Amino acid sequence: MPELPEVETVARGLQRQIAGRRILSITLGKTDFIDNPEEIEKELPGRAIRSVVRYGKFLLLRLTPKENAGETERESALLVHLGMTGMLRPQPAGEPHAKHTHVVALLDDGRELRYIDARRFGRMAYLAGESLQEELRRFGADPLEAGLEEFTARIRGKRARIKALLLDQQVLRGVGNIYADESLWKARIHPKRLGARLRKEQVKELYRALQGILERAIVMRGSSIADFLDAEGQPGEYQRHHRAYGREGKPCFRCKTRIKRVIVAGRSSYFCPLCQKAPRSGRSQGRETRNQGQGHLKKR
């Protein structure tokens, strides 16, 4: 499932492979995940791909203006969200199309940029000018660009559970379920803790954990757990370093306690029940701790 490190990996691969190429034509398959398919068919042919960058979990293919369009140069881009199973990669035009290939852009060097997405949980949109800026403004800070001050303000300024905040793209853009759980594990914070009730020191630990994990995951070209492949068709390696995500019942790397799984913010959340202390029970924070009195805390 492409999150920030996976999308960054794809963006870098595409930048290397297709930046500068001109789009000659567009062929669409199923379009129910595309905001404006007819505009894509009309606007993309003739434009070159100026650069490919990541924006949160989106790929932003920045485009040149149409050649003869005398209009004032408006920023234009193709936004691509890979959802759960989306893949975007250039392939020789002669190669057969994989199943679930829904968008094909013929490039000026004989290759095709193909969007393949079995579940179509992704999203694609052509946007320009103010509507592009408006769309980008909807999202929160990039976790790798935000300073500690901003991060702290965003986390402590809300009363939602920390897991929900990490997943909320309007708070931070790019974090998904895997890296949320991994960073909470590293910072020893229970996913049900309220953001507003974290101590400053804990927020700082979370900030450092999140940045460190994202950076390391980018170096390893992301996590391939289901079927993530980068722009070159290669899997990532970071799944070998997961400490919490997907490890239900397995021993915690710190204390050997079995990793537990609970649903928080509607998503599976993996955590160590010993290292990541649950919030005091109460209607506001969930009741996982109902029977964990002070009794056995210092059991020795």
Binding region for DNA (CB under 7 A): 1, 3, 32, 56-57, 81, 83-85, 99-100, 118-121, 158-161, 164, 167, 169, 176-178, 227, 264-268, 286
Cβ at position 242, least distance to DNA in Å: 11
Q: Which two tokens stand for residue 9?
A: 């990996």
Residue tagged active-site, from 2, 37, 90, 279: 2
Q: Is 3 one of the annotated active-site residues of the chain?
A: yes
What distances in angstroms separate CA 87 from CA 4, 96, 157, 178, one per listed residue? Answer: 14, 16, 35, 18
Which of residues 1 and 34 has its CB atom nearest to DNA in the complex?
A: 1
Cα 187 from chain centre: 20
Cβ at position 22, least distance to DNA in Å: 29
In angstroms, the CA 283 to CA 163 distance is: 17
Residue tagged active-site, from 5, 43, 54, 57: 57
8 Å CB contact between 101 and 29? yes
Q: Is 57 one of the annotated active-site residues of the chain?
A: yes
Residue tagged active-site, from 3, 6, 43, 182: 3
Cβ at position 110, least distance to DNA in Å: 28
Q: Is 2 one of the annotated active-site residues of the chain?
A: yes
Cβ at position 82, least distance to DNA in Å: 9
Residue 139 zone, left/alpha/beta (φ > 0; ψ -120 to 50; rest): beta
Residue tagged active-site, from 62, 188, 267, 277: 267
DSSP string for 91-112: EETTSPPPTTEEEEEEETTSEE
In angstroms, the CA 36 to CA 31 distance is: 9
Cβ at position 102, least distance to DNA in Å: 10
Which of residues 161 and 221 has its CB atom nearest to DNA in the complex?
A: 161
Amino acid code (one letter) for 155: I
Cα 95 from chain centre: 29
What are 194's strand-pairing partners?
A: 161
8 Å CB contact between 279 and 193? yes
Task: Give catalytic residues, as residue numbers.
Answer: 2-3, 57, 267
